[in-house]
Amino acid sequence: MAQRMISYADYLQLLPKTELHCHFVSTMSAALFVELAAKHGVDLPSSDPATLFDFDDLVDFLVAFRYAHDVIRDPDDFERVAYDGVRSAVADGNLRYREYYVNPQYFAERGLSYTQVIDPIITGLERAERDFGVGFRIVVAINRRESGDAAVELVRQILAHPRRAVVGLGQDDLTPENTEDPTRFADAYRLAAAHGLLLTAHVGETDAASPAAVREAIEVLGCHRLDHGYRIVDDPEVVALARGRGIRFTVTPVSTTICSGWTLDPAHRIRRMIDAGLAVAVSTDDAMFFRTDLGREYREGLLAMGVDAETAKRIALDGIDAAFCDDEQKRMLRADFTAQFLALDALLER
Contacts to Zn ion by CB under 5 A? 285
220: three-class secondary structure by DSSP: coil
Between 180 and 285, CB nearer to Zn ion: 285
Q: Give the integer Cα–Cα distance in Å for 350 and 347.
A: 9
Between 174 and 192, CB nearer to Zn ion: 174
Shortest reach from residue 283's CB to Zn ion, in Å? 8
Shortest reach from residue 3's CB to Zn ion, in Å? 39
**How many Cα neighbours within 13 Å face the side chain of 228?**
27
Between 216 and 285, CB nearer to Zn ion: 285
Contacts of 295 (CB under 8 A, 6+ apart): 12, 13, 92, 93, 94
Between 64 and 344, CB nearer to Zn ion: 64
Between 11 and 93, CB nearer to Zn ion: 93
Q: Give the integer Cα–Cα distance in Å for 187 and 180.
A: 16
Shortest reach from residue 286's CB to Zn ion, in Å? 7
Shortest reach from residue 202's CB to Zn ion, in Å? 5
DSSP for 150-213?
HHHHHHHHHHHS--TTEEEEEEES--TTS---GGGGHHHHHHHHHTT-EE--EES-STTS-HHH
Between 285 and 300, CB nearer to Zn ion: 285
- Measured in residues, the chain has a length of 350
Q: Which residue is nearest to Zn ion (CB)?
A: 285
Shortest reach from residue 229's CB to Zn ion, in Å? 11
- Containing H/E element for 11? helix 8-14
Shortest reach from residue 227's CB to Zn ion, in Å? 5
